[in-house]
Amino acid sequence: MKRSRVNEILREGEAFIRSFGYVMPPFASWTPEELARRRPPGIVEARLGWDITDYGQGRFDELGLFLFTVRNGRAQDLTRGRGMLYAEKIMISRRDQLSPMHRHVIKAEDIINRGGGKLVLELFMSAPDGGIDRDAPVEVPTDGIVRTLPAGGLLKLDPGESVTLLPGVWHAFWGEGADVLIGEVSTVNDDLTDNVFADPIGRFSDIEEDEPPARLLVSDYDRLIG
């Protein structure tokens, strides 16, 4: 994906988020130079910030996701059972834009429709080998009520509704009818190691630097901040 396209998506995404009255944290507006100069470990090492992905496939409008990690704890705290054991994201799933089938090894997450269209999730359980079980029914809590769907069933969330996805539950999702603002509340988030995709795709975009970045993405941190 070209950096100019990333910058355009950022501008569009910020406006969409603001339209729902969601206020971003101060570091969201830092320039790349300010972030590199200040380099707070609580942001850089925790990988807080902007994340725009086309999963390395170059088809963002069809296959992609807009994310901003607002807070995130440390994976090592999970082994101790205390500390900051949680994370939070705000995301945008565009109309008919697929976030592809995947599961997490560690992370449990609440996915919340914060506004816009319907959020549609396709769900499967894991087979004993970790792959997709194409036959087992899926049970997921939705706002305190357990719902049962057939394998590959579609769960449709209206604004205000949410679903809890435990580790091992395979899921893909997209917006229906309109773009969707999504909240995610989860255990500690590690996008470098805790995403298992059904197809051989990447988690982050390959960026072609055709213009300077308006904001750094979390995937830029290692390369551009060091």
Whether 6 contacts 60, CB under 8 Å = no
Among 87, 86, 114, 78, which Cα is nearest to 218's?
Answer: 87
As given in the structure block, the two tokens for residue 173 are: 């999702």
3 state DSSP class of 191: coil
Domain ranges of the chain: 3-225
Instruction: Indicate the pTM of the whole model.
Output: 0.96
- CATH class, range 3-225: mainly beta
CA 106 to chain CA centroid, nearest Å: 15
- The DSSP secondary-structure symbol of 151 reads T
Q: How many CB atoms lie within 10 A of CB 154?
A: 14
Q: What is the pLDDT along the chain (226 residues), one digit of tens a residue?
A: 999 999 999 999 999 999 999 999 999 999 999 999 999 999 999 999 999 999 999 999 999 999 999 999 998 898 899 999 999 999 999 999 999 999 999 999 999 999 999 999 999 999 999 999 999 999 999 999 999 999 999 999 999 999 999 999 999 999 999 999 999 999 999 999 999 999 999 999 999 999 999 999 999 999 888 6
